[in-house]
Chain A
Amino acid sequence: MDVIIENLPQYWDGFLRTLFLSVISGIIALIVGTVLAAARVSPVAALRGFSMAYVEIVRNTPLTIAFFFAAVVLPRLGITFQQFEVAAIIALSAYTSAFIAEAVRSGVNSVPVGQAEAARSIGMKFSQVLSLIILPQALRTVIPPLINILIALVKNSSVAGAFYVLELFGQGKQLANANGDAVVWVLVGVAFFYLLITIPLGYLASVVERKVAIAR
């Protein structure tokens, strides 16, 4: 127990870095994922094909390979960065955006057909139908699954700890090495800080789920 209190600054530092990685990657993934979902339902065949291929391949790529790619292969391609956080954000947002695209697409499918028909019959273009009528309703219904994807993102950010980023898991590994006699408590501390993020988010998801269920 003392180990956790003594090393609270390291924990806090790792906690903030985990939050930072999750928030930045989450925002990028939400934007990219929504654009991918829009491309998936667009009239342009090439966009549909690209979105489908991206989602299909990325969803079936192990996260570790995505990190390996971002941290080792991208620098060789001339995309260099000063900090490994950038590689982690690239890997996490590229990976998560595929899942968000799938969730948003299922939301688009769940909007009643009459909505789009009504919008088209008053003369709206595809871009207007999507951005003014369909997406606002679709995003609303998929908020609970989106929160679940974001929870997974927070947990996935732990892989960054193995790729030179000192977030919660990376700090935990270092502390475990330094305090060989109190490994259990070190890792319990790490788990506590993860649960500090994931359990409230999970609670939020179930509350929103109930609210949306009543609204419909």
Chain B
Amino acid sequence: MSSVLYDVPGPKARRVSLIGSIIGVIVIGGLLVLAVMTLAQQGIFDPKRWAVFQLPEVWALIAAGIGATLAAAAVSAVIAFPLGLLLCLMRISDNAWIRVPTRIVLEFLRGMPVVLMMLFVLLVFATSSFIAVVAGLVLYNSAIFAEIIRAGVQSLPKGQREAGLAIGLTSFQSRLTIELPQAIRRMLPSLVAQLVVLLKDTSLGYIVAYGELLRAVQVMADFLGPQYLFPVFFVAAAIYIAIDLAVSRLAIWLERRGSKRAAGGVAHVPVAGVPAAK
């Protein structure tokens, strides 16, 4: 491993870094052992507590929680993406009467916490918590999708639109048939990354009492007794993080694949006008 930031380490530097690494690993390991011991003292690792996982009902509840999480994420994504496309088209419209109000709405949606939108829909429209969660996620993420796709359209070479207009397409036809397809392909990694955020944000459903994974854990702990909260929480957190990690990996894979196949490669997340990092 060599880097431009430092010289290739010599034998002395390697020895120092090895000793430092070993000490670091020991310290972290020690803290972990301490944590486990503290928990063990409170009887967290009592086999009786973990015996709940022998109950099929517990797994059924966890499965229902995962199902509810994935359902909310899937429904929101399916609605938010076309809506984001539409908002993007309105945001870059030639007509100021469409463009400016859309811009204000987008600023408004992007500036608000998702939980607040969920609570708003839940209380004001007195809907089920599922609809509240989906509505909150759709409102927020369609605004983000619109901004991502807009960044993609703006990253295209000017000639694409000019050529489209030159062969007699209307402005809208050029957007729809020339620019958007390229923009979406270029922004695919960012779009999938936003999907990960959407999936993570379903956990906010916990706050509006939607029966997603974390809420299922809470319900189970209330039902079986607080001593089971820990084991079930750890299993649920591990499942949640594993799902999110898998989707993130997909995003990275798409980016690698995209940079080989998509014409002109995928756009790297633009950082303040600085050339994309290689």
Which chain A residues have a beta carbon within 8 Å of chain B's beta carbons?
A: 41-47, 50, 56-57, 59-65, 68-69, 72-73, 76-78, 106-107, 109-110, 113, 116-117, 120, 125-126, 129-130, 134, 141-145, 151, 155-156, 158-159, 161-162, 169, 172-173, 176, 183-184, 187, 190-191, 194-195, 198-199, 202, 208-209, 212-213, 216
Contacts and interface: CB of A to CB of B under 8 A. Distances in A.
Interface residues of B, number: 58
A133 B54 CA distance: 58
Contacts of B123: 176, 183, 187
Given A61-B200, A183-B123, A199-B107, 14 more contacts: A50-B24, A63-B200, A65-B241, A69-B237, A110-B274, A116-B5, A126-B6, A141-B274, A158-B113, A159-B115, A161-B207, A187-B119, A194-B116, A212-B272
B206 A162 contact: yes
Given A47-B24, A202-B110, A60 B196 contact: yes
23 contacts: A43-B3, A45-B21, A46-B17, A47-B21, A59-B248, A62-B240, A64-B203, A68-B233, A76-B39, A77-B35, A77-B38, A110-B277, A116-B5, A129-B5, A143-B272, A155-B111, A155-B112, A155-B113, A161-B207, A202-B107, A202-B110, A208-B272, A213-B273
Chain A residues touching B, majority SS: helix
Interface of B: 1, 3-7, 9, 13, 17, 20-21, 24-25, 28, 35, 38-39, 42, 44, 107-108, 110-116, 119-120, 123-124, 196, 200-204, 206-207, 214, 229-230, 233, 237, 240-241, 244-245, 248, 269, 271-275, 277-278
